[in-house]
Amino acid sequence: MLHSKTVILLFVAWLLFSVSCKKTDPAVSEPDDELTLVIPDGYPQPVYQFQNNPLTKEGFELGKKLFYDPVLSKDNSISCGSCHQQFAAFSHSGHKVSHGIYGLFGKRNAPGLFNLIWQPTMMWDGGVTQLDLQPMAPITNPIEMDETLPHVVAKLQADPQYTQQFKNVFGTDSITSALMFKAMAQFLGMLNSTNSRYDQYERGEAVLSADELSGLQLFRTNCESCHREPFFTDFSYRNNGLDTAFADSGRAVITLVADDLGKFKVPSLRNIALTAPYMHDGRFETLSSVVHHYRNGVENSSTLDSSLTAGISLTDEEASKLIDFLHTLTDVSFITDPRFKEPQK
Amino acid sequence: MKTNRFLLLLVMPAMVLQSCKKDEPVETTAISNNVSLVITNKVNGQVLDMAGGTYTNAFGNSFTVSKFKYYISNISFKKADGTQYIVPVQADKSTNYFLVDESVHASKTLTMAAIPEGDYNAVTFLIGIDSLRNVSGAQDGALDPANDMYWDWNSGYIFLKMEGASPDASNNQLTFHIGGFQPPKSTLRQVTLPLSAENITVRKNIAPEIHLFANLEKLFEGPSVIDFSVQSAALNGPDAVRIADNYQYMFQIDHVHNIVK
Cβ-Cβ contacts under 8 Å, A139 against chain B: 152
Alpha-carbon distance of B147 to B128, in angstroms, equals: 14
* pLDDT at position A162 over 60: yes
Alpha-carbon distance of A111 to A97, in angstroms, equals: 10
Cβ-Cβ contacts under 8 Å, A180 against chain B: 138
From the list A215, A195, A326, A333, the residue with the least C-alpha distance to A269 is A326
Mean pLDDT, to the nearest integer, of B97-103?
Answer: 97
Tell me if B236 and A21 make a contact (CB, 8 A cut-off): no
Tell me if B8 and A133 make a contact (CB, 8 A cut-off): no
Contacts of A220 (CB under 8 A, 6+ apart): none
Residues 72-101 of B with CB under 8 A from A: none
Whether the CB-CB separation of B98 and B107 falls below 8 Å is answered with yes
If you average pLDDT over every residue of chain A, what do you get? 91
Establish if A24 touches chain B: CB-CB under 8 angstroms: no
Establish if B254 touches chain A: CB-CB under 8 angstroms: no
Q: Give residue-wise pLDDT tens across range B124-162.
A: 999 999 999 999 999 999 999 999 999 999 999 999 999
CB atoms closer than 10 angstroms to residue A154: 12
Alpha-carbon distance values, A299 to A238, A252, A307, B203 (Å):
13, 19, 13, 72
Length of chain A: 345
From the list B210, B196, B201, the residue with the least C-alpha distance to B118 is B201
Establish if A37 touches chain B: CB-CB under 8 angstroms: no
pLDDT band at residue B28 under the 50/70/90 scheme: low
A100-138: b (≥16 Cβ within 10 Å) or e: bbeeeebebbbbbbbbbbbbebbbbbbbbbbbbbbbbbb
Whether the CB-CB separation of A127 and B153 falls below 8 Å is answered with yes
Tell me if B155 and A176 make a contact (CB, 8 A cut-off): no
Give the DSSP H or E segment for B75.
strand B62-79
B237-B239-B240 Cα angle (round to 5): 65
Mean pLDDT, to the nearest integer, of B119-128?
Answer: 98
Alpha-carbon distance of B193 to B37, in angstroms, equals: 12
Q: Sign of torsion, CA A94 A97 A98 A101? A: negative
Q: What is the DSSP letter of A94?
A: T
Residue A106: the pLDDT is: 86
Whether the CB-CB separation of B208 and B201 falls below 8 Å is answered with yes
* pLDDT at position B2 over 60: no
Establish if B184 touches chain A: CB-CB under 8 angstroms: no
Which among A13, A137, A178 has the least Cβ separation from residue B140?
A: A178
Alpha-carbon distance of A260 to A298, in angstroms, equals: 17
Establish if B15 touches chain A: CB-CB under 8 angstroms: yes
Q: What is the DSSP letter of A296?
A: I
Establish if B113 touches chain A: CB-CB under 8 angstroms: no
Cβ-Cβ contacts under 8 Å, A253 against chain B: 154
Establish if A93 touches chain B: CB-CB under 8 angstroms: no
Percentage of chain A lying above the pLDDT 90 cut: 85
Residue A18: the pLDDT is: 46
ipTM: 0.82
Residue B3: the pLDDT is: 47
From the list A265, A235, A232, the residue with the least C-alpha distance to A251 is A265
State whether residue A56 is helix, strand or coil: coil
Give the DSSP H or E segment for B64.
strand B62-79
pTM of the model as a whole: 0.86
A&B contacts, CB < 8 Å: 96
Query: Looking at chain A, which residue has its C-alpha nearest residue B9?
Result: A9
Q: Give residue-wise pLDDT tens across range A33-80.
A: 467 898 999 999 999 999 999 999 999 999 999 999 999 999 999 999
**Most A CBs within 10 Å: which of B1, B2, B140, B152, as the mutation test of the A interface?**
B152
Residue A1: the pLDDT is: 42
* pLDDT at position B36 over 90: yes
Alpha-carbon distance of A118 to A231, in angstroms, equals: 9
> Phi/psi at A335 (nearest 5 deg)?
-80, -10
> Phi/psi at B67 (nearest 5 deg)?
-150, 135
Tell me if A20 and B146 make a contact (CB, 8 A cut-off): no
Establish if B9 touches chain A: CB-CB under 8 angstroms: yes
CB atoms closer than 10 angstroms to residue B22: 5
From the list A337, A29, A22, A9, the residue with the least C-alpha distance to A193 is A337
Establish if A157 touches chain B: CB-CB under 8 angstroms: no
Alpha-carbon distance of B34 to B115, in angstroms, equals: 6
Q: Are strands B156-165 and B173-179 parallel, antiparallel or unpaired?
A: antiparallel
Tell me if A2 and B1 make a contact (CB, 8 A cut-off): yes
Query: Looking at chain B, which residue has its C-alpha nearest residue A127?
Result: B154
Residues 266-295 of A with CB under 8 A from B: none
How close B224 comes to chain A (CA, Å)?
A: 21
* pLDDT at position A12 over 60: no
**Most A CBs within 10 Å: which of B10, B154, B158, as the mutation test of the A interface?**
B154
Q: Are strands B209-215 and B32-43 parallel, antiparallel or unpaired?
A: parallel
How close A276 comes to chain B (CA, Å)?
A: 24
* pLDDT at position A23 over 90: no
Tell me if B4 and A141 make a contact (CB, 8 A cut-off): no
Start-to-end Cα distance in chain A: 63
Establish if A119 touches chain B: CB-CB under 8 angstroms: no
Encode B135-204 in three state secondary structure.
CCCCCCHHHCHHHCCEECCCCEEEEEEEEEECCCCHHHEEEEEEECCCCCCCCCEEEEEECCCCCEEEEC
